[in-house]
Amino acid sequence: MTTAQVTVPDIGGAEGAEVIEVLVAVGDDVVVDQGLIVLESDKASMEIPSTLAGKVIELLVSEGEELAEGAPVALIEVADAKESVEESEGDIEQSDIADADPGENDAKAVQPPEETIEQPEETTSAPGASKQLVVVPDIGTDDAVELIEVCVSVGDTVAEGDSLVVLESDKASMEVPSPLAGEVCELLVDAGISVSQGDKLMMIKGALSGEPAAAEPEKSDSPSVEAAETAAAPVSQESATAEKNPSPAPGPTAQAEVAASSSANVYAGPAVRKLAREFGVGLQQVKGSGPKGRVVKEDLQQFVKQALSRPSTAASSTGSGIPAVPDVDFSQFGPVKVTKRNRLEKLTADNMQRSWLNVPHVTQFDEADITELEAFRSSLKSEAEQRDTRLTPMPFLLKACSVALREHPKLASSLAAGGDELVFKQYCHIGMAVDTPAGLVVPVIRDVDQKTIWQLADEVLAMAGKARDRKLAPSDMKGGCFTISSLGSIGGSGFTPIVNTPEVAILGVSNAEMRPVWNGESFLPRKMLPLALSYDHRVINGGDGGRFLSHLVRLLGDIRQLLM
């Protein structure tokens, strides 16, 4: 059985890099190229791949440790030692070989840019250089890599070494530092595109740009520029007369750019950055718990978990991007008792919030003279007792609404197809809000237009009883075209009800009172019933609402009209 050691390869000249993640455990089977650890320097993070296939029998590093080139990473029990050693092209050392030569390892492909960003002297020391073109440095691979973040904007002042863009391959992410101090005057790339060594990134106006003419940059055809470009150096000069730069590739939205650039300053490894992008999480929102505040995978998982566990809070407070009402610890002001809200209360809250946020509400008010109605109703009291029912104003209200809705069907319609269509119902089912100890429910009374006042009285009684006994079936609360919410028996002179979506209108009924009413000659005692009609202004305009309400007032004022 042969064991062999995997060591840290050439990491691009970085003096040391921190182990930010150990990707395998003792006992794991690994294949060639599988990431063993993630190293992160101040400019790049990179996965160190296994150069062997086999079983991890010892991990020689731990998180937080600083490693340099040649440092042992793991001891692998090689499945087929010969084959693996051949595959690794001498990058690995057998455990009995003292000196490692990690130089030509696969991980070289992920060397960070510090080494390569050192520009050829002729490109940076050219006297009087005004603008410099920054290009993708040697990234250790001929393959294109993704440009995941642009860390600067046009107009930004950058210092030498400031991160300009972040590149990411499937094995590493690396920041491209600015080779000079100056001002970003043109961006030639957008996040999301693929780039290769030598591709143009941006123009930076160096500190010497304000120098006199003598210090003007050399023309683009100068040998030094040619030399620099031919050598695909990371930075080349470009004068004002030089060839036009390519247009930036089509990129993401401005919002995405902002998110990307703010994420760029977050301390996190490539795996975490990739995961964050997949989840659509801006890393700047995530609190890092790793060394030096580094965001680790667990931080991101925790953040996503918390976000998912907040849907009801979001629905109740931030449904339209409205800032949430902050939680207050009321016990700081005095003793408190906290109770849990039941399911019905929370459901009602969500429905109200949804309607309130989605529907532009208008409420119109009027009063119906129900003196005659009340006299008629009183005259039927004994008959109601004989029928073992109760004749409240509600059956009359239901009937009157059904007649008014027949004349004004828009009030019983619903919006459909994202607002392109209006559904007119050929039935008349009316909901009735019932106040129960458990909360508010709205059973629906079907085919109100086809029922007698006595039938409606029975149904009001039955439905209100069922509601209070919590015996309503879900089907009892579906299919309404319009709703009546009567607070008449409770009191109050008026209120503005919330439309019970997807319906478009609701009638609020308040407490009827005897009042002196001027008839043009004298004040007469009349029983006046306050009515409030709330409606969805996307469907019902003021004229529709006013006509419906006036009609309803007339019907309640003279119930003989209900027969017509």
Between 30 and 512, CB nearer to ligand CAO: 512
Write out the H or E segment, with its range, that includes residue 21: strand 17-22
Q: How many CA atoms lie within 13 A of 210 on its CB side?
A: 3
Between 224 and 351, CB nearer to ligand CAO: 351
Q: How far apart are the first and last CA of the chain?
A: 101
In the complex, what is the shortest distance from the CB of residue 372 to ligand CAO, in angstroms, rounded to a whole number? 15
Between 437 and 474, CB nearer to ligand CAO: 437
d(C-alpha 366, C-alpha 370), whole Å = 13
| CA angle (271, 275, 278) in 5-degree steps | 145
Say how many C-beta atoms besides its own lie within 10 A of residue 469's C-beta: 9
Cβ burial of 8 (10 Å; 0-12, 13-18, 19+) is buried
Say how many C-beta atoms besides its own lie within 10 A of residue 221's C-beta: 11
Residue 83 makes CB contacts below 8 A (sequence gap 6+) with: 53
Write out the H or E segment, with its range, that includes residue 49: strand 44-49
In the complex, what is the shortest distance from the CB of residue 445 to ligand CAO, in angstroms, rounded to a whole number? 11
Peptide linkage before 502 cis (omega within 30 of 0): yes
Extended strands (E) in 172-311: 172-177, 182-187, 194-195, 200-206, 235-237
d(C-alpha 334, C-alpha 66), whole Å = 53
Between 240 and 438, CB nearer to ligand CAO: 438
Identify whether the C-beta of residue 4 lies closer than 8 Å to the C-beta of residue 75: yes
- Site residues (CB under 6 A) for ligand CAO? 392-394, 432-435, 440, 460, 464, 485-489, 497, 509, 511-512, 529
Per DSSP, what are the bridge partners of residue 173? 45, 168
Identify whether the C-beta of residue 400 lies closer than 8 Å to the C-beta of residue 560: no
Residue nearest to ligand CAO (CB): 488
Between 204 and 398, CB nearer to ligand CAO: 398
Question: By C-alpha distance, which of 384, 412, 397 is closest to 536?
Answer: 412
Between 229 and 374, CB nearer to ligand CAO: 374
d(C-alpha 444, C-alpha 456), whole Å = 12
d(C-alpha 506, C-alpha 484), whole Å = 6
Between 276 and 531, CB nearer to ligand CAO: 531
In the complex, what is the shortest distance from the CB of residue 487 to ligand CAO, in angstroms, rounded to a whole number? 5
DSSP secondary structure letter of residue 198: T
Catalytic residue, candidates 361, 408, 429, 537: 537
Between 118 and 435, CB nearer to ligand CAO: 435
Between 60 and 440, CB nearer to ligand CAO: 440
Catalytic-residue membership of 429: no
Tokens of 106: 């696969």
Identify whether the C-beta of residue 432 lies closer than 8 Å to the C-beta of residue 463: yes
DSSP per residue over 327-364, as a string? P--GGGTS-----PPPHHHHHHHHHHHHHHHHS-EEEE
In the complex, what is the shortest distance from the CB of residue 534 to ligand CAO, in angstroms, rounded to a whole number? 11
In the complex, what is the shortest distance from the CB of residue 467 to ligand CAO, in angstroms, rounded to a whole number? 7
In the complex, what is the shortest distance from the CB of residue 544 to ligand CAO, in angstroms, rounded to a whole number? 23
In the complex, what is the shortest distance from the CB of residue 483 to ligand CAO, in angstroms, rounded to a whole number? 9
Tokens of 245: 């730069």
In the complex, what is the shortest distance from the CB of residue 361 to ligand CAO, in angstroms, rounded to a whole number? 13
In the complex, what is the shortest distance from the CB of residue 399 to ligand CAO, in angstroms, rounded to a whole number? 13
Torsion angles phi and psi, residue 409, rounded to 5:
-65, -20
d(C-alpha 282, C-alpha 268), whole Å = 12
Between 245 and 436, CB nearer to ligand CAO: 436
Residue 554 makes CB contacts below 8 A (sequence gap 6+) with: 561
d(C-alpha 36, C-alpha 6), whole Å = 9
In the complex, what is the shortest distance from the CB of residue 539 to ligand CAO, in angstroms, rounded to a whole number? 21
- Residues annotated as part of the active site: 537
